[in-house]
Structure 1
Amino acid sequence: MSPTRQDAWSQDEDLLLAEVVLRHIREGGTQLQAFEDVGKQLTRTSAACGFRWNSFVRKQYKSGIELAKKQRKEMKKQPVANEVETFQEAVKVEVDPPPTTTEQGSAISFPAVIHFLEALQQKAQASYSMEADRKKSQEKIKELEKKAYYLAAENERLSKNLKAIEEDYRSLIEIMERARKMVVLQDEDKQQKVKFQMDKNGNLERIEK
């Protein structure tokens, strides 16, 4: 049994956590299952993954959560099972056509059977091609979603860096302002040290303390 990790979460780990949780939401799974899957991949407990999701990662993917829920609803409206059932019904109709006989009661001709089977094969190949295209589209969508998650995390990181730079800039301005005031006060102190007094002849003379 691998020991559970206690170190800080990296950006890639947060990205993986978000990707797995959103996929489970989209496919109708539970967040607990997602936390267990991520925990196995990162050698962390499911509780640690759940805490990380609820305390930090979930706040960065509010729009992604809404999108995953919407996709789950769409998938329920058009389940793949219905497509398979429809295809099976179509095949059944093609495979079991009403028997055709001649006036003498003879069976359908062999060339007609060959023609029918060839047509059926073409339809099956077209169906397989559509299924392959659908899988490619799903893979492309997953890849784009992964890039979107990464860009969202990168945007969050850059926003934090910008905020830190702005705070450093304000601190620098405050330091410069304090330094300027100190210089002004020193000049005023020098001016206050200069005084004048009257000599015996009634003339003013400058004296310095």
Structure 2
Amino acid sequence: MTAIRQDAWSPDDDLILAEVTLRHIREGSTQLAAFEEVGERIGRTSAACGFRWNSCVRKRYEDAIQIAKQQRQKRNYLKKQTVVATPHVSSIAVFETDERGLRQEGGSIEEGLSVDAVIRFLRGWKTTYQDLTRQTKWYEKELKEKEEELYRLRDQNERLSKEVNSAQTDYRTVNDDYKTLIQIMDRARRLTVLTNDDEAKPRFKMDANGNLERIE
């Protein structure tokens, strides 16, 4: 049983997918057969290989696909010419040659259209769908957790903003009180200096004779 890989596609995986698919196109096989061969080689389901080819790799090999189709047409034409160029071959031999050619050209088609191949293809798609469903649920869970974390951070940010505004208001109040206290202390200091100066200076008055007399 082929192991189902969960890792991302590497450039080597894409190259193998392109080479095998182009070879099957060139040889007249089906893409489904190519996807099954690639899946066996790189450990992926044929459905995953088909999805990768149609969604990404095919766009890079449009010119190569056209060349492979031309080579297939040329290959079929040469086969027909070979049969026509040998009239001495008996009808039985011609029939056998045509039958072998049809087997080579249509064998992969018959295999691709067989019930077993369709079942394998659908099972591969089912596995891919289940993987995508699990990934979707995981992403939804992670998204929900991120939304809850975002809501918590917004609430915390709002609360911290209120605390900062409150702290700024308290700071302005304390700063105003500090300035008022400094002004009061400065005014008290000046009053103290003036009082001391008044006590230190002697006071005089003039008597009736015009003489100055010190007042104690």
The TM tier, using the shorter chain, reads 0.3 to 0.5
From the two aligned structures, give the one with the greater helix fraction: 2
The TM-score with structure 2 as length reference comes to: 0.39
The TM-score with structure 1 as length reference comes to: 0.40
